[in-house]
């Protein structure tokens, strides 16, 4: 038995030292860029058009991030659709993406349905609540638009809500004046 201990203990020690040495030199790789994260700037426009709200999100990137997105552009639209569906509880379709190489920007767009609760009366709480926004306290009003500038997910963001008529509104709904 002591002969067995003399052989096994050095083997166990050598294996343990080897594992610790491997762990010590193993480099942790940086998490890959999840497509749609770490943008330099975001511009969201929601345009009312009858029963449809056209959603358009332009993300500006630094050159290296945009090059990575271009390398993986086939994965970009599915990643953006997944992110949109996780974030907003809405029925949406007509998803698309454009790549603007000149400006290092991506444009994600879709159509949101079911948020016109009466003719030309829109419920925007699906968007506002997710971001902690309120039309009365946070947005600037013009005749046919509401706009906001601030930070969402650590990204400088502008939001513009456009309507084809002069508007009135409360905290989360818009209707004709």
**Per-residue tens of pLDDT for the chain, all 177 residues:** 555 555 555 555 444 445 444 444 443 333 344 444 689 999 999 999 999 999 999 999 999 999 999 999 999 999 999 999 999 999 999 999 999 999 999 999 999 999 999 999 999 999 999 999 999 999 999 999 999 999 999 999 999 999 999 999 999 999 999
Check residue 123 and give its pLDDT: 97
pTM: 0.79
Check residue 152 and give its pLDDT: 92
Check residue 22 and give its pLDDT: 41
Check residue 23 and give its pLDDT: 41
Phi–psi pair at 23, nearest 5 degrees: -65, -35
Q: CB-based contacts of 92: which residues, under 8 Å, 6+ apart?
A: 55, 84, 85, 110, 111, 112, 113
Phi–psi pair at 83, nearest 5 degrees: -60, -45
Check residue 29 and give its pLDDT: 34
Provide the CA 97 distance to its chain's centre, in angstroms. Answer: 13
Within 13 Å and on the Cβ side, how many CA atoms surround 154?
4
Check residue 106 and give its pLDDT: 96
């Amino acid at each position: 038995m002591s002969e067995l201990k003399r052989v096994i203990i050095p083997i166990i020690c050598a294996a343990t030292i080897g594992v610790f040495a491997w762990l010590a030199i193993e480099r942790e790789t940086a998490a890959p860029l999840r497509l749609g994260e770490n943008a330099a700037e975001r511009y969201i426009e929601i345009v009312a058009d009858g029963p449809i709200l056209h959603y358009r999100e332009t993300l500006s990137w630094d050159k290296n991030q945009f090059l990575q997105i271009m390398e993986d552009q086939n994965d970009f639209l599915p990643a953006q659709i997944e992110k949109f569906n996780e974030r907003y509880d809405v029925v949406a379709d007509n998803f698309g993406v454009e790549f603007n190489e000149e400006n290092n920007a991506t444009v994600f767009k879709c159509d949101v349905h079911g948020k016109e609760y009466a003719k030309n009366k829109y419920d925007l709480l699906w968007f506002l609540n997710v971001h902690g926004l309120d039309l009365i306290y946070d947005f600037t009003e013009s005749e046919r638009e509401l706009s906001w500038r601030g930070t969402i997910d650590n990204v400088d963001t502008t939001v513009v809500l456009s309507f084809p008529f002069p508007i009135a509104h409360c905290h989360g709904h818009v209707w004709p004046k």
